[in-house]
Amino acid sequence: MYIDLTSAGVPAPFWFVQFFKWLGFTLHTIPMNLWFAGLLIGLWLHLRGNNYAKHFAGRLLRQMPIIVALGINFGIVPLLFIQVAYYKVFYPATILMAWFWLSIIGLLIPAYYGVYAYAWGVKNGAKMESWRVAAGWIACAFFLTIGFLFVNGLTLMEHVSRWPELWKNNNIAGAATGLALNITDPAVYPRWLLMFGFALGTTAVWMLVDLCVLGGEKDEAYRNWAIGFAKKLYTVSLGWTIVVWAAYIFGTWSQDLFATMFSWPIILLTLLTIGAPTVPWMTLMGVGERPLTRPTVTTLALGQFLVLGLNAATRQTVQNLNLSLYPAVLDQPTDVQWSPIAMFLIVFALGVAVIAWMLWQIPKSKSA
């Protein structure tokens, strides 16, 4: 049977793909931030922190298996849409670095076990077995490495001009060996560091969500410590992201990309994205003069959602602009298939409703 792949068409409208890729990536980023920087901070505080730090770290580390499960599942959503609409660049890029890309699975499974091993070992006051401590730190190193591999693959996907050199250096008789890594691309490092910077902020916000919404309150002294720590952590995150944004934009954007991202109306998105972390930061800094109430924490959480959502939108805009140099990638006919779209929407809505219900139940649970 002959199938004409050139006329297959994208099975969903362009706006649909863009919207769910954006939404899925934003939802993926929230829990992913908590295992990207939050796990490192949690492990450190659990090892070296005072009693308050240990209290927070213990809670975060016990929550971590669920956070990882949520983040991985949300990651599937943008992956689905990348494979549907960006396949012409996604597959060649990930074939060039195939062994590293596949190694994500090999790193993720033990990292997940490591997080469980640590979580089960967290008991108030009791000393943790050393193998569990080691498992937690190994998991942390693996997660940081996986983050680097994701940044690598996704940067390579949109920097098509780098493929020939990587292929030339990594092929046998024309067949890619899958051993290429995009490490000479200057954009990779600021992108990885930028995500780490956001992750520090998300961890700070999570600390207060845990305190006020998830039942993490221990006593008044812990409350004061947590607010103080979250303020410091978010301040580091803000400074970090500003510095890395500057390095990323001025050090790696091409002249054309820079001109477009700073021209009307896209400049609005660019500036809002860079400035957005000041919203949660200012809300946080106001705590003290005002008490930390649930509405304040809700504002903080929504502010951080805005930060991550705007970052996802800018990233997607940059991705599309870089790929617009190769019109065959995104300028494809659509052949909309409504029944799978309807199935996707039903399952997605059900999944989000179940997760919202689960989160709703946590504060009511006695063991929270």
Task: Give the footprint of ligand HEM on this chain (CB under 6 A).
Answer: 21, 25, 28, 32, 36, 72, 75-76, 78-79, 82, 108, 143, 146-147, 150-151, 154, 191, 195
Long-range contacts of 211-215 (CB under 8 A, 24+ apart): 211/292, 211/297, 212/292, 212/293, 212/294, 212/297, 213/294, 213/297, 213/363, 214/59, 214/362, 214/363, 214/368, 215/362, 215/363, 215/365, 215/368
At its nearest, how many Å lie between ligand HEM and the CB of residue 361? 25
Question: Nearer to ligand HEM by C-beta: 21 or 46?
Answer: 21
| Residue 180 near residue 346, CB atoms below 8 Å | no
| Residue 313 near residue 269, CB atoms below 8 Å | yes
At its nearest, how many Å lie between ligand HEM and the CB of residue 199? 8
At its nearest, how many Å lie between ligand HEM and the CB of residue 258? 18
Residue number, nearest CB to ligand HEM: 75
At its nearest, how many Å lie between ligand HEM and the CB of residue 264? 25
Question: Nearer to ligand HEM by C-beta: 121 or 190?
Answer: 190
Question: Nearer to ligand HEM by C-beta: 283 or 314?
Answer: 314
Calculate the alpha carbon distances from 40 to 24, 144, 159 in Å: 24, 9, 31
Q: How far apart are CA 282 and CA 297, in angstroms?
A: 12
At its nearest, how many Å lie between ligand HEM and the CB of residue 215? 27
Calculate the alpha carbon distances from 353 to 73, 176, 214, 356 in Å: 14, 43, 18, 5
Question: Nearer to ligand HEM by C-beta: 141 or 227?
Answer: 141
